[in-house]
Chain A
Amino acid sequence: DAGVIQSPRHEVTEMGQEVTLRCKPISGHNSLFWYRQTMMRGLELLIYFNNNVPIDDSGMPEDRFSAKMPNASFSTLKIQPSEPRDSAVYFCASSLNRKNTEAFFGQGTRLTVV
């Protein structure tokens, strides 16, 4: 398996623009997680899905952030409108939906909002 695949790897956008980050989880994994990593706050969970259903979105910072998982092999994280403080590395991870299974991370998307 190719692992968790994220695109794009890098994104530079102007403040106010819409940004869409994409993730393809490992085939057969039914849990998907979106994390954000910054120097100040480290890795924070934004939202996670089980069987394509959002379970916990308490980490989503504002209404400007939204995430979808239309099917088992694809998820998006959208920021609209983007702001400079959204600049961070966004990671997607997937795992099996049961106890004591490892989470596998993608390479991340480095987002810069200018």
Chain B
Amino acid sequence: KQEVTQIPAALSVPEGENLVLNCSFTDSAIYNLQWFRQDPGKGLTSLLLIQSSQREQTSGRLNASLDKSSGRSTLYIAASQPGDSATYLCAVGGKGAQKLVFGQGTRLTINP
């Protein structure tokens, strides 16, 4: 059974810093990995999707990497801003199934 873990559970950094959020998964037989952002009381917004054949994806200040063999993904946020404050969730799409298995998320606070 796939298990997804995100560390740390919470992170608070000053504005302008570069930061890394971590995601690990137990079963490397995946189709893809998706990073989401969730603002309080809101739904999930898709940030990046990395296919299993890819090593990384970039969107603006966000860069996500995937190391399938070690069961790890990182989300790098450059030059953080207060508007980046949210909970970030990673989710793994397994082979043979479309369903996503989610980590518990990292609650990120960027202090002005």
Interface residues of A (CB under 8 A from B): 4, 31, 33, 42-45, 48, 50, 55-56, 91, 93, 95, 97, 99-108, 110
Contact = CB atoms under 8 A, between A and B. Distances in A.
Given A99-B31, A103-B46, 8 more contacts: A43-B89, A43-B91, A45-B100, A56-B97, A56-B99, A99-B32, A100-B93, A107-B43
Contacts of A101: 49
A33 to B, nearest CB: 7
Contact of A102 (B31, B34, B97): B34
A107 to B, nearest CB: 4
Interface stretch (B19-27, B76-84, B102-110): B102-110
Contacts of A97: 98
29 contacts: A31-B98, A33-B98, A33-B99, A42-B103, A42-B105, A43-B89, A43-B102, A44-B102, A45-B99, A45-B101, A48-B99, A50-B98, A55-B98, A91-B43, A91-B44, A95-B98, A99-B31, A99-B32, A99-B51, A100-B32, A100-B49, A100-B51, A100-B93, A103-B100, A104-B46, A105-B36, A106-B43, A107-B42, A108-B42
Nearest to B53: A100
A61 to B, nearest CB: 16
B78 to A, nearest CB: 22
A103 B34 contact: yes
Contacts of A42: 102-105
Nearest to A92: B43
Contacts, number: 55
Contacts of B91: 43, 103
A48 B98 contact: yes
7 closest cross-chain pairs (CB), A and B? A43-B102, A105-B44, A107-B43, A105-B43, A100-B51, A42-B104, A45-B99
- The CB with the most chain B CB atoms within 10 A, among A100, A104, A106, is that of A100
Nearest to B104: A42
Contacts of A106: 43
A56 B105 CA distance: 24
